[in-house]
Protein backbone atom coordinates (compact mmCIF):
# COMPACT_ATOMS: atom_id res chain seq x y z
CA UNK A 1 0.00 0.00 0.00
CA UNK A 2 2.78 2.38 1.00
CA UNK A 3 4.69 1.40 -2.14
CA UNK A 4 1.72 2.34 -4.35
CA UNK A 5 1.37 5.67 -2.51
CA UNK A 6 5.03 6.50 -3.09
CA UNK A 7 4.72 5.61 -6.79
CA UNK A 8 1.68 7.87 -7.11
CA UNK A 9 3.57 10.77 -5.52
CA UNK A 10 6.52 10.23 -7.89
CA UNK A 11 4.17 10.23 -10.87
CA UNK A 12 2.62 13.54 -9.77
CA UNK A 13 6.09 15.08 -9.33
CA UNK A 14 7.13 13.91 -12.81
CA UNK A 15 4.01 15.46 -14.35
CA UNK A 16 4.69 18.75 -12.55
CA UNK A 17 8.30 18.83 -13.73
CA UNK A 18 7.24 18.19 -17.36
CA UNK A 19 4.66 20.98 -17.17
CA UNK A 20 7.24 23.42 -15.75
CA UNK A 21 9.72 22.63 -18.52
CA UNK A 22 7.08 23.18 -21.19
CA UNK A 23 6.12 26.53 -19.66
CA UNK A 24 9.75 27.64 -19.50
CA UNK A 25 10.19 26.73 -23.17
CA UNK A 26 7.15 28.79 -24.15
CA UNK A 27 8.43 31.81 -22.21
CA UNK A 28 11.87 31.68 -23.86
CA UNK A 29 10.57 31.33 -27.42
CA UNK A 30 9.33 34.98 -27.75
CA UNK A 31 12.87 36.15 -27.02
CA UNK A 32 14.18 34.20 -30.01
CA UNK A 33 11.39 35.59 -32.14
CA UNK A 34 12.21 39.16 -31.10
CA UNK A 35 15.87 38.61 -31.95
CA UNK A 36 14.93 37.26 -35.35
CA UNK A 37 12.61 40.23 -35.88
CA UNK A 38 15.34 42.70 -34.93
CA UNK A 39 17.70 41.00 -37.40
CA UNK A 40 15.11 41.17 -40.14
CA UNK A 41 14.45 44.86 -39.44
CA UNK A 42 18.20 45.60 -39.53
CA UNK A 43 18.60 43.78 -42.85
CA UNK A 44 15.63 45.60 -44.35
CA UNK A 45 16.91 48.98 -43.11
CA UNK A 46 20.37 48.39 -44.59
CA UNK A 47 18.80 47.33 -47.87
CA UNK A 48 16.61 50.42 -48.00
CA UNK A 49 19.61 52.65 -47.23
CA UNK A 50 21.64 51.10 -50.05
CA UNK A 51 18.71 51.51 -52.43
CA UNK A 52 18.35 55.19 -51.47
CA UNK A 53 22.08 55.80 -51.95
CA UNK A 54 21.98 54.14 -55.39
CA UNK A 55 18.96 56.26 -56.37
CA UNK A 56 20.69 59.48 -55.26
CA UNK A 57 23.83 58.53 -57.18
CA UNK A 58 21.81 57.78 -60.33
CA UNK A 59 20.00 61.12 -59.97
CA UNK A 60 23.29 63.01 -59.64
CA UNK A 61 24.75 61.18 -62.65
CA UNK A 62 21.65 61.93 -64.71
CA UNK A 63 21.84 65.60 -63.74
CA UNK A 64 25.52 65.68 -64.68
CA UNK A 65 24.80 64.09 -68.05
CA UNK A 66 22.10 66.69 -68.68
CA UNK A 67 24.47 69.65 -68.17
CA UNK A 68 25.91 71.24 -71.28
CA UNK A 69 29.65 71.85 -71.17
CA UNK A 70 31.32 74.40 -73.41
CA UNK A 71 34.95 73.97 -74.41
CA UNK A 72 36.98 77.06 -75.32
CA UNK A 73 40.36 76.31 -76.85
CA UNK A 74 43.07 78.86 -77.45
CA UNK A 75 42.23 80.94 -80.51
CA UNK A 76 44.75 80.82 -83.32
CA UNK A 77 44.82 83.67 -85.84
CA UNK A 78 41.60 84.99 -84.32
CA UNK A 79 39.80 87.79 -86.14
CA UNK A 80 37.22 88.28 -83.37
CA UNK A 81 38.76 91.64 -82.37
CA UNK A 82 38.82 93.03 -85.91
CA UNK A 83 36.80 96.23 -86.07
CA UNK A 84 36.37 96.17 -82.28
CA UNK A 85 37.60 98.54 -79.58
CA UNK A 86 38.24 97.88 -75.89
CA UNK A 87 35.99 99.73 -73.46
CA UNK A 88 36.70 97.81 -70.22
CA UNK A 89 39.31 95.38 -68.89
CA UNK A 90 40.60 93.67 -65.76
CA UNK A 91 44.18 92.56 -65.15
CA UNK A 92 44.89 89.72 -62.72
CA UNK A 93 47.26 86.86 -61.95
CA UNK A 94 46.65 83.13 -62.05
CA UNK A 95 49.65 81.35 -60.60
CA UNK A 96 52.70 83.08 -62.06
CA UNK A 97 50.93 84.10 -65.26
CA UNK A 98 49.46 87.55 -65.82
CA UNK A 99 46.03 87.64 -67.45
CA UNK A 100 43.72 90.29 -68.80
CA UNK A 101 39.97 90.03 -69.34
CA UNK A 102 39.01 92.38 -72.16
CA UNK A 103 35.57 93.69 -73.10
CA UNK A 104 35.35 94.95 -76.66
CA UNK A 105 32.53 96.48 -78.70
CA UNK A 106 32.23 97.53 -82.30
CA UNK A 107 34.27 100.67 -82.97
CA UNK A 108 31.36 102.98 -83.69
CA UNK A 109 29.91 102.21 -80.24
CA UNK A 110 33.01 103.25 -78.26
CA UNK A 111 33.94 106.89 -77.83
CA UNK A 112 36.99 107.91 -75.78
CA UNK A 113 36.96 104.49 -74.10
CA UNK A 114 33.29 104.81 -73.12
CA UNK A 115 30.61 102.44 -74.35
CA UNK A 116 27.78 104.26 -76.12
CA UNK A 117 24.97 101.73 -76.13
CA UNK A 118 22.39 101.63 -78.89
CA UNK A 119 19.56 99.22 -79.64
CA UNK A 120 22.04 96.62 -80.92
CA UNK A 121 25.77 96.15 -80.45
CA UNK A 122 28.37 93.48 -81.21
CA UNK A 123 30.47 92.44 -78.19
CA UNK A 124 33.59 90.32 -77.77
CA UNK A 125 34.95 89.13 -74.41
CA UNK A 126 38.34 87.50 -74.38
CA UNK A 127 40.86 86.30 -71.82
CA UNK A 128 44.45 87.05 -72.80
CA UNK A 129 47.73 85.84 -71.27
CA UNK A 130 50.90 86.57 -73.18
CA UNK A 131 50.35 85.32 -76.72
CA UNK A 132 47.39 83.22 -75.68
CA UNK A 133 43.86 84.35 -76.44
CA UNK A 134 40.57 82.68 -75.45
CA UNK A 135 37.34 84.13 -76.88
CA UNK A 136 34.60 83.59 -74.30
CA UNK A 137 31.89 85.71 -75.90
CA UNK A 138 31.32 86.86 -79.50
CA UNK A 139 27.73 87.92 -80.13
CA UNK A 140 25.48 90.77 -81.15
CA UNK A 141 23.30 91.82 -78.24
CA UNK A 142 20.06 93.76 -78.47
CA UNK A 143 19.26 96.13 -75.60
CA UNK A 144 21.88 94.91 -73.19
CA UNK A 145 25.57 94.38 -72.49
CA UNK A 146 27.45 91.37 -71.12
CA UNK A 147 29.24 91.50 -67.76
CA UNK A 148 31.94 89.39 -66.14
CA UNK A 149 33.42 88.35 -62.81
CA UNK A 150 36.84 86.81 -62.15
CA UNK A 151 37.92 84.75 -59.14
CA UNK A 152 40.00 81.75 -58.09
CA UNK A 153 38.45 79.05 -55.91
CA UNK A 154 39.89 77.20 -52.90
CA UNK A 155 41.79 74.92 -55.28
CA UNK A 156 43.29 78.00 -56.98
CA UNK A 157 41.38 77.27 -60.19
CA UNK A 158 40.58 80.33 -62.29
CA UNK A 159 36.90 81.10 -62.94
CA UNK A 160 35.54 83.69 -65.36
CA UNK A 161 31.77 84.06 -65.04
CA UNK A 162 29.97 85.77 -67.93
CA UNK A 163 26.47 87.17 -67.49
CA UNK A 164 24.52 87.85 -70.67
CA UNK A 165 21.37 89.87 -69.97
CA UNK A 166 19.45 91.26 -72.90
CA UNK A 167 15.89 91.99 -74.07
CA UNK A 168 14.52 88.45 -73.84
CA UNK A 169 17.42 86.38 -72.57
CA UNK A 170 19.28 85.83 -69.32
CA UNK A 171 22.29 83.52 -69.29
CA UNK A 172 25.19 82.87 -66.91
CA UNK A 173 28.19 80.72 -67.84
CA UNK A 174 31.02 79.77 -65.47
CA UNK A 175 34.26 79.24 -67.42
CA UNK A 176 36.90 77.26 -65.49
CA UNK A 177 40.48 77.32 -66.70
CA UNK A 178 42.21 73.93 -66.91
CA UNK A 179 45.92 74.76 -66.79
CA UNK A 180 46.95 71.19 -67.68
CA UNK A 181 44.99 71.17 -70.93
CA UNK A 182 45.28 74.94 -71.46
CA UNK A 183 41.57 75.22 -72.12
CA UNK A 184 38.46 76.78 -70.57
CA UNK A 185 35.46 74.59 -69.74
CA UNK A 186 32.18 76.46 -69.44
CA UNK A 187 29.23 75.32 -67.35
CA UNK A 188 25.85 76.96 -67.95
CA UNK A 189 24.52 78.02 -64.55
CA UNK A 190 21.37 79.73 -65.80
CA UNK A 191 19.75 79.94 -69.23
CA UNK A 192 16.37 81.63 -69.71
CA UNK A 193 14.80 82.85 -72.93
CA UNK A 194 11.62 84.81 -73.52
CA UNK A 195 12.11 86.74 -70.27
CA UNK A 196 11.27 90.35 -69.50
CA UNK A 197 14.55 91.62 -68.08
CA UNK A 198 14.10 94.72 -65.92
CA UNK A 199 17.68 95.33 -64.85
CA UNK A 200 20.06 94.85 -61.93
CA UNK A 201 20.66 96.37 -58.51
CA UNK A 202 24.14 96.67 -56.97
Rounded distance, CA 202 to CA 2, Å?
113
Query: Quick one: which H or E segment has residue 133?
Result: strand 132-142
User: CA separation (Å) from 68 to 97, 173, 184, 197?
Assistant: 29, 10, 14, 24
Alpha helix segments (H runs only) across the chain? 2-66
Residue-wise pLDDT tens for the chain (202 aa)? 555 555 556 655 665 556 556 555 555 445 545 555 555 545 545 656 565 666 566 655 544 555 678 999 999 877 888 999 999 999 999 988 999 999 999 999 999 889 998 889 999 999 999 999 999 999 999 988 999 999 999 999 999 999 999 988 999 999 999 999 999 999 999 999 999 988 888 8
Please say whether the beta carbons of 190 and 172 come within 8 A: yes
Amino acid sequence: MIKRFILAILAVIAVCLTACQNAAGMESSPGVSETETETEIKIVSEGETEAMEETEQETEEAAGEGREEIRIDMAEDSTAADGMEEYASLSFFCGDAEWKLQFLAQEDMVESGELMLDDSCHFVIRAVSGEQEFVLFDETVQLGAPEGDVFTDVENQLHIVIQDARTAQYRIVDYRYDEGENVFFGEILADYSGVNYWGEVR
